[in-house]
Amino acid sequence: MVEPFRLAPFFSERVWGKKSLAPWFASTGTDELVGEAWLTGPQSVVETGPHAGERLDAVVAAEGVALLGKNSAESAFPLLVKILFPADRLSVQVHPDDAQAQAIGEPRGKTECWYVLEAEPDASVALGLKAGVTLDAVRSAIADGTLEEKLEMVPVRVGDMLFVDAGTVHAIGPGVVLLETQQTSDRTYRMFDYGRPRELHVEQGLGVTKLTTRARKVAPHAMGEFTRLIEETYFSVDLFEVTAGDVAVSMDGPGCLVGLEGAAQVRSAAGEVELQKASAVVVPAGTEVRVAAVGGAVRFARCMAPR
């Protein structure tokens, strides 16, 4: 039996990131711009329990069935959970689906979702192409710098959940902080980058672009002791709020709990660990834990892959 364990975030430097990620993180350990905190990245290091000091990918390789359940055939933890901190616009980009990724030798595509943690009053994201836009129109707009005009802009506020399926052309700008739950893949095709000197992948991006997708805002649903924010093929994300006492949380498939506010104690038959703000506690598939608030109200997300 594997006990739940907490991971240290891996801070990913990005040209569109920030020097300070306060109040979510006191320090990133670098003076460079950081755009993403990978809470369950392969490089994230275990902070607690018997595997302390090991990388998550090494724990997955060692524990297999005990950690992932029937997903033990996976070569990686199935969900990459991040917090995004854009101070500038990301590129306009698109990701391949499973079949397209496997055609180039990768294990999986990249479908994702975004839960809005912070949003300025006029914040928005680009989510898909406007109706009637063709691939030829996209190619022309990339060449003349007008691609943003072809994108559907969606206003966002704190608490919104957005689904971004593979093949959706999308873009994130400043004014938001997002909790991203996605398939474990970093395959991104940049189609337009606002003049920054980074490599573009126009033809690859056009090759995986879908003119119509299922990308959208997703309405939350009350589910008794938690709120279901999204349930899709590759993941579900639920929001828990505990003001006193504790709550039972089942992890049917492999996944993690992500602290959003306050601190909590996560207890299972195999051990216990503290869940802190902006950290992830990995809970093995098939495990039920009890989560107790420590010193006040706690709010956390359950990010889970299918069993």
Which residues are marked as active site? 190
User: Is residue 165 within 8 Å of residue 209, measured between CB atoms?
Assistant: no
Q: The tokens 């506690």 sit on which residue?
A: 281
Nearest residue to 26 via CA among 41, 46, 11, 42: 11
Angle at the Cα of 31 (from 277 to 85), degrees rounded to 5?
45
CA 76 to chain centre: 15
Q: What Rg, from alpha-carbon coordinates, does the chain have?
A: 19
Tell me the one-letter amino acid at 286: G
For residue 186, which of 6, 12, 9 has the smallest C-alpha distance?
12
* Residue 109, helix vs strand vs coil: coil
Amino acid, res. 34: V
Q: Concatenated DSSP letters for 37-76? A: EESS-TTPEE-SSTTTTSBHHHHHHHHTHHHHGGGGG-SS
Residue 220: helix, strand or coil by DSSP? coil
What is the rounded CA–CA span in Å between residue 73 and residue 129?
36
Helix (H, G, I), strand (E, B) or coil at 16: strand
Place of tokens 């090759």: 207
User: Using the 8-state DSSP alphabet, how is residue 4 labeled?
Assistant: P
Element holding 285 (H helix, E strand): none
β-bridge partners, 258? 280, 301
